Amino acid sequence: MSIIAPDTARRSDRVATHWPWLVIATLTGAALIIPAVAGEQIADFSAALRPPSAEHLAGTDHSGYDLLTRTAQGLQISLVIATLCAVAATLLGLVIGVGAALIGGWVDAVVMRVVDGVNALPHLVVGIVIAAMWRGAPLAIIASIALTHWPAIARIVRAELLAVVRAGWVQTARLAGASHWFIARRHLLPAVTGQALIAMVMLLPHAVWHESTLSFLGVGLSPDRASLGTLLGQARGDVLTGAWWTLAVPAGALIAAALAFAAAGTALRRRTEPPAGRVW
C-alpha cells in the first residue's frame, strides 16, 4: 500500500476540484464578452473561409463571419439551452421523486415502472422525434431533453428520501412530536436539495451534447441561429474544402464545456461522499 504525502494529496485534490470551475467561468465569460465587444456582424462573402490570422484569430466561416465571435455566440446559446434543460429536468424529477417517496404504496410502484420504461427508450431517438415536431423551436429542444432525462433525477431523489425518512433521527423527531413541515424543512429538504443540485450539474454535459447533436442533425435550432450544433453542421461541407478551423474551433468549445461540466459534477459528488480510507 502506497503512502501519499499529505501536502501533495491536498494540492492534487484542490487542482482536481478547482479547474472545472475555472474552465466554466472562462467559457461563460468568453460567451458573454466576445459577442458584446464584437457587436453585430455582417456577412462578408469576400472574406469567407479565411484561415486563422491576426485579423481573425479563429478564421472565418463560409459566410465571412468571424468564427471566434460566432463560436462565442453559439456557446452562449448552447449553455443557456443546456441550463434550462437541466433545470427543467431537475424540477420534474424532483417533484416526481418526492411524490413517489412520500406517497409510497401503489403510486410509488407505478412511478418506478414509468421510470424504468422511460430509461429503456433511446433518449436521442425520442429527443429527435419531439424536436422534429416543432423544428427550430428552442422550447421543443428543452422539452425533448427534459422529458428524457428526468428519470435519473427522480430515482436519485426517491432513494435519498427513503434513506432519510427511515433514519433514526427522523423517527426520533416524529416521536418527539415534530410536525411534518419541521421534519421536511430540517431533514428532508437539505438532503434532497444537495443531491438534486449534483444531479443537475451532472446533467449539464448531457444537455450540451444533446442540444448540439439535435442542431447538428438539423432538427434543433435553425441554421441562421448560431449554436455549437449548427456551427458543426455547417462545418461538414466546409472542412472538405480544407477549412479545418470551421470544425476545430466549435468542436473544441463543445468538448471543453462538456468535460468541464462533467468534472464539476464529479467534484461535487465526491465532496458529498464519505471520506475514503486513505493512508497518510
- Residues of the chain above pLDDT 90, percent: 23
> What is the rounded average pLDDT for all residues in the chain?
83
- Please check the confidence at residue 52 and state whether its pLDDT lies above 50: yes
Q: How far apart are CA 41 and CA 63, in angstroms?
A: 11
Mean pLDDT in residue range 65-75 = 92
Q: What is the pLDDT of residue 249?
A: 93
d(CA 210, CA 147): 12
**C-alpha grid cell, residue 195:** 443531491
Helix (H, G, I), strand (E, B) or coil at 63: coil
Examine the pLDDT at 279 and tell me if it is beyond 80. Answer: no
pLDDT tens digits, one per residue of 93-122: 988 888 887 777 898 899 999 999 988 888
Instruction: For 273, list phi and psi in degrees, rounded to 5.
Output: -80, 155
Fold (CATH) for 69-272: MetI-like fold (1.10.3720)
Model confidence at 1, pLDDT cuts 50, 70, 90, reads very low
Reply yes or no on whether the pLDDT at 212 is more than 50. Answer: yes
C-alpha 184/C-alpha 196 separation (Å) is 15
CA angle 181, 202, 24 (to 5 degrees): 115
* pTM score: 0.81
| Average pLDDT of span 141-159 | 89
pLDDT of residue 99: 82
